Amino acid sequence: MVKPRPDQKTVTIVDEYCSLYRDLFPEVRSYEYFKYLHIGLLSGIKRKTLPAIAREVGLENEQGLHHFLTSSPWLAKDLKERRLKVILSVVGKREITVIMDETGDKKKGKTTDYVKRQYIGNIGKVENGIVSVNAYGLIERMTFP
């Protein structure tokens, strides 16, 4: 049996956090893309698209990231369950504040998908746009998804 190669090291804090999920990824390549996505999402790039994240982390193109999200042999359900266990272990019995954040953006250009006329809070009227609602937990100035 051939021993798998070790994963590529990235940013220490990302490597440490992602190591909590390592056993959920049967392929080292999938695990590396998991880490690359975290780096991209935490980076200062303006648009968090797969091509932009790929450029930010030094990949030739976004194909591997796309494959990781669509065809890679890991289960989102397992990842969500692990994330909740990690959060609960950090939170312990401390009180948590739940924050609901509704964010809307007016449509720009002609190529945006999933757009319809709806109320966009930050402009105060009904326009063609996209709205998302996100929930966060807040504990001692730390946020949790």
What value does the mean pLDDT of the chain take?
A: 90
Distance from C-alpha of 98 to C-alpha of 17, rounded to nearest angstrom: 23
Range of the domain at 104: 97-144
Same domain, 59 and 23: yes
**pLDDT-based confidence at 83, cuts 50/70/90?**
very high
CB proximity list for 46: less than 8 A, separation 6 or greater: 52
Percentage of the chain beyond pLDDT 70 is: 98
39 plus 106 within the same structural domain = no
Whether residue 7 lies inside any domain: the answer is no
Does 22 share its domain with 63?
A: yes
Mark whether 120 and 101 lie in a shared domain: yes
> Does 102 lie in the same domain as 34?
no
Domain endpoint, select from 53, 72, 91: 91
Percentage of residues of the chain with pLDDT beyond 90: 54
2 in a domain, yes or no? Answer: no
Residue 110 has pLDDT above 80, yes or no: no
